[in-house]
Structure 1
Amino acid sequence: MDLRQMEYLVALADEQHFTRAAAVCQVSQSGLSAAIRSLEDELGTPLFTRTTRRVDPTDAGLALLPFARGALAQAAAGRDAVIRATHALSGRLRVGAEQCLGVVDVPPLLERFHRRYPLVDIHFTQAGSHDLVAQTRRGDLDVAFVATTDHLAIANSVELGRRSVVLLTPSDHALAARTSIEWAELRDREFIDFRPSWAMRSLNDAACTAASVTRRVRCTVDDIHTLLDLIHRGLGIALVPQHIAAKPQAAGLTSIQLPPESTPQWVVSAITATHAEASATRLLEILDADHSPAQDDGPVTTAP
């Protein structure tokens, strides 16, 4: 067993999908699959059950998972200790992020940065992507993690990953028996969605307009868990990224695919201010190092 295999194991358990896990690890899908098979051969037991729709850890996989996470955490802590001992950095870091981006988990990233650079004063803001873009443009934030491609041309932007959007309904909804749906079938239905400052709202509005779908947004929220709770209670349906439909709080809801040729893409990027603090570069270096591609695994595959 090696750290790379542990990284692939954790990513596959979290994403429950080979293509998405490969995108998270920035390796080819075949490289990730081969590494998992090699680990299973070494241990003499399957670690995952594979179906056409998802991948789930077996009992053996679940038993190994906490040790894999621990090994990765220990390795990261070791690297951080070396950098902390050899590189002094002070000043401040102003970071913003939208909630539940899926592609990047910001709190652990900030924790790692703080361990490496304890003298840097960190300020964190959570807001909708459009507000974060505006704050970064003004220089109020050094770096922001956003889920919008609007107005990014004037910002330093690096795409981190993307997810397809799906329709999420209560289990007893008239559409719940469907596995896929056409846009016309959503016309005049009642929706739950986010406030306009959220990138998801503008993405949904644009997709519905392009498909000539009129809809009634019955409930407007500022929190993903509230959105899921309202769907559970039968107050509407929602268009959300795949990773939101996979959250534990979405268990019991029905995820329905949209037409492949017109499915919106949730695109997550890191943007930096024109005159950002030097600490912003160090933060993105940690993110890049944690997801650096393997040397010989072939081209990176993108998430669907």
Structure 2
Amino acid sequence: MELQQLRYVVAVAETSNFTRAAERHRVVQSALSHQIAALERELGARLFERTSRRVRLTPAGEAFLPAARECLEAADRARADVAATGGEIRGRLAVGAIPTVTAVNLPIALRDYSRRHPRVHISLTSAGSEDLIEQVRRGGIDVAFLGLPPRMEPKNVRSRRLGGGELVAVVAPDHHLTENELDLRDLADEPFIDFRAGVAGRVQSDEAFAAAGVRREVPFEVSSADFMVDLVRQGLGVGMLPAAYAPRFPDLRVIRLRNAPARVEHLIWHPRPSPAATAFLDLLPHRESLPA
């Protein structure tokens, strides 16, 4: 069993096509097919079902794929670790971030890192805090930026607090609320646009309203801040955004809240960071360190 055979299997699984997989690796299709067939003979099982219209994994292929990816990742890490002993950082850096991260200027941080370590392949995933914690825990993402309610801490990963801040209400320019500052109780009768119930971006607001004794209606649940803003612009309700993030939308009116929801931004990473991840962590601000 050779690493190149594993790469071919992963490529076919991801593209569902032998031709596209061969193009990805810049080999002729017959060579790729020959290597996969040789691996199947060695394993004593077919990894793919091939028809004239599609290619899909067999049950044996489904079982084999995660291990193949783990082997390739281990080989890449071994090469990166050896290179790091000579002062060269290479390999991959998978970064995750919530869309509303403000404690770090992430585009600039990625630019600076790329210039300093040009042999590292960088990828970025945008997702919710809970999903990012799980991906870092599993090793699919190396480092991630989260936003959590103050009482919550990321579990089973290493973490560092980057800073905290309050949320503000945002409304359409012609909204009937004209005050610049309100109490949460003043918003009791307003429809809200917020993230879906249970996720960290929603919990911080729900807890603040509950503490104020306010029951609010959230008829519009969204999965992204941009979608929230689009609905707010149409006058469909009140949105809640981090105070440091809201200025990105100058066409919306911002209402500061006297008993505002709060959140804390965290940087998290796998307990065994790769050299590429360690180099990225070294570029970022160091504040309060938290236990794993």
Under a length normalisation based on structure 2, what TM-score does the superposition of the two structures give? 0.62
Maintained 8 Å contact 1:158/1:270: yes
Alpha-carbon distance between aligned partners in 2 of 1:252 and 1:94, rounded to the nearest angstrom: 34
CA contact (8 A) 1:96 1:141 kept: yes
**Deviations 1:72-97 (Å, cap 9, x if unpaired)?**
xxxxxxxxxxxxxx931122222111
Distance 1:126 1:252, change over 3 A: closer
Distance 2:198 2:224 in 1: 12
| Structure 2 unmatched runs, 5+ | 1-85, 288-292
AA of the residue aligned to 1:204? S
Equivalent pair of 2:184/2:260 in contact (CA under 8 Å): no
Contact 1:130 1:148 in 2 (8 A): no
SS of corresponding position for 1:251: coil
Partner of 2:251: 252
Report the Cα offset of residue 193 of structure 1: 1.0
What corresponds to 1:127 in structure 2?
A: 127
2:266 alignment counterpart: 269
Measured after TM superposition, the shift of residue 153 of structure 1 is 4.6
Report the secondary structure of 1:282's partner residue.
helix
Aligned-pair CA distance for 1:102: 1.7
Describe the SS at the equivalent of 1:243: coil
State the partner residue of 2:283: 286
CA contact (8 A) 1:130 1:197 kept: no
What CA distance in whole angstroms lies between the structure 2 residues aligned with 1:275 and 1:188?
49
Which amino acid letter does the alignment assign opposite residue 91 of structure 2?
G
SS in 2 for 1:130: helix
Distance change (3 Å), C-alpha of 1:280 and 1:198: farther
Contact 2:208 2:261 in 1 (8 A): yes
Q: What CA distance in whole angstroms lies between the structure 2 residues aligned with 1:140 and 1:205?
A: 30
Name the residue aligned to 2:233. 232
| Residues 1:256 and 1:185: Cα distance change in structure 2 (over 3 Å) | same
Q: 1:151 to 1:139 in 2, by over 3 A?
A: farther
Matched to 2:256, the amino acid is Q
The 2-side partners of 1:173 and 1:161 are apart by: 31
Q: Give, in whole Å, the separation in 2 of the partners of 1:158 and 1:168.
A: 29
- Picking from 153, 156, 168, the partner of 1:154 is 156
Percent of matched pairs sharing the same residue: 35
Q: Distance in 2 between matches of 1:198 and 1:243?
A: 20
1:197-212 correspondence to structure 2 within 5 Å? 199-212=200-213
SS in structure 2 at match of 1:220: strand
Structure 1: segments with no counterpart, 5+ residues:
1-85, 293-304
Does structure 2 conserve the Cα–Cα contact (< 8 Å) formed by 1:129 and 1:197?
no
Q: CA deviation at 1:124?
A: 2.0
| Correspondence for 1:100 | 100
**Distance in 2 separating the partners of 1:136 and 1:211:** 35
Report the TM-score, using the length of structure 1 for normalisation.
Answer: 0.60
Q: SS of the residue aligned with 2:166? A: strand
Distance 1:134 1:218 in 2: 29
The 5 A counterparts of 1:16-35 are none
Tell me which residue corresponds to 1:90: 90
Deviation at 1:128, TM superposition (A): 0.8
Quickly say closer, same or farther: Cα 1:197–1:125, change in 2 above 3 A: farther
Rounded Cα–Cα distance in structure 2 between residues aligned with 1:273 and 1:213: 39
Query: How far did 1:231 drift?
Result: 1.0
Which is worse superposed, 147-156 or 276-285? Answer: 147-156
Structure 1 Cα separation of the partners of residues 247 and 222 of structure 2: 19
Report the CA distance between 1:183 and its aligned residue.
1.9
Cα RMSD over matched residues? 2.4
Which amino acid is the alignment partner of residue 122 of structure 2?
A: I
Question: Does the Cα contact within 8 Å between 2:188 and 2:214 map onto a contact in 1?
Answer: yes
Query: 3-state SS of the aligned residue for 1:246?
Result: helix
**Aligned AA (1:134):** E
Aligned equivalents of 2:126 and 2:246: distance in 1? 21
Deviation at 1:99, TM superposition (A): 0.7
Gap change, CA 1:197 and 1:145, over 3 Å in 2:
farther
Q: How many residues align?
A: 201
Please state how far the C-alpha of 1:154 moved relative to its aligned partner: 3.5
The alignment partner of 1:103 has SS state of coil
- Equivalent residue letter for 2:261: P
- Are the counterparts in 1 of residues 147 and 264 from structure 2 also a CA contact under 8 Å? yes
Highest Rg: 1 or 2? 2
Residue 127 of structure 1 and its aligned partner are, at CA, apart by 0.4
Query: For the structure 1 residues 227 and 246, does the alpha-carbon distance in structure 2 shift closer, same or farther, using more than 3 Å as the test?
Result: same
Note if contact 1:169-1:254 (Cα within 8 Å) is conserved in structure 2.
yes
